[in-house]
Structure 1
């Protein structure tokens, strides 16, 4: 097998793993991986603003607003007007949202994070450089993407 085919197979395995995990998560919790990550961010901080979530996840605020709307509709989070700034809205996790996190399978990206952080510094830098090069080769450097292993439209509901 030549190197080009080997590289394409590796890319396909990554895409397939994210697709399979997305299906597993949707089946177990009814959430997309990106919705699940928004829920995790809110749970980790206790309360977040849409702007804080968008900055942390590296996606636009309208994208986060759409994701929050879906989570509110599902009863996983709720909006609360800030007591200190009436223009600001806080996002809080509900008991249902917390149980969705607790009952969900181990997120694929959490597995990746654990293994990536166990790598030596030089290996991390090399891997980031290689992945950034692959994104550039696919003309994907400017695509709106969050640090969530997911396929498809990040605003999409499963």
Structure 2
């Protein structure tokens, strides 16, 4: 028995699915950011880690993962890369020696400062096709979607101090 032919209609439905469009938008977002921060050798995940640590020095590794919605393996991989570059330091937490806390090094602070303009350029480039009202609507809809479906996520998102 021959396989059914794929029709343009089926492809149109696939390409209009939110999951497809969100994945594609994420790919584009990452590429735009990485292009803007190429000279700094910084990825979106690394930028996120550095930004959270700037606001919450000494944050535990698990709390850091939750603050970004990362699983523990992902945050560990990102931290190892940042630590190898001398941008973060990991050590025993003050309150519980079995936990690991993470802080920016002076080099990490400097890199994060240098990344602010390129990161903003990347944001502006990503949002350029939208007018101000569309930008606000997009953010509102993404926050609604992620907030309402948070229980479905593979990794918890819990902002520090929440």
TM over 0.5: yes
- Calculate the TM-score normalised by the size of structure 1: 0.62
Give the paired residue count.
129
Q: Match for 1:21 among 8, 33, 47?
A: 33
CA distance in 1, matches of 2:27, 2:156: 15
DSSP 3-state at the match of 1:59: coil
TM-score normalised by L of structure 2: 0.61
Could you say if the C-alpha distance between residues 109 and 46 of structure 1 is closer, same or farther in structure 2, counting changes exceeding 3 Å? farther
- Flag as ranges the 4+ runs of structure 1 deviating above 2 A: 4-8, 11-18, 106-112, 125-129, 141-146
How far did residue 20 of structure 1 move? 2.6
Q: 1:72 aligns with which of 68, 73, 83?
A: 83
Aligned CA-pair RMSD: 3.8
Q: Structure 2, unaligned stretches of length 5 or more? A: 1-11, 158-162
Please tell me whether residue 82 in structure 1 is matched to residue 124 in structure 2: no
* Alpha-carbon distance in 2 for matches of 1:81, 1:127: 34
Among residues 124, 133, 141, which one is paired with 2:140 in the alignment? Answer: 124
Mark the structure with the bigger radius of gyration: 2
The higher relative CO (CA closer than 8 Å, separation ≥ 6) is in 1
5+ residue gaps, structure 1: 133-140, 147-158
**2:98 aligns to what SS in structure 1?**
coil
2:64 to 53, 64, 86: 53
Report the counterpart of residue 42 of structure 2 in structure 1: 31
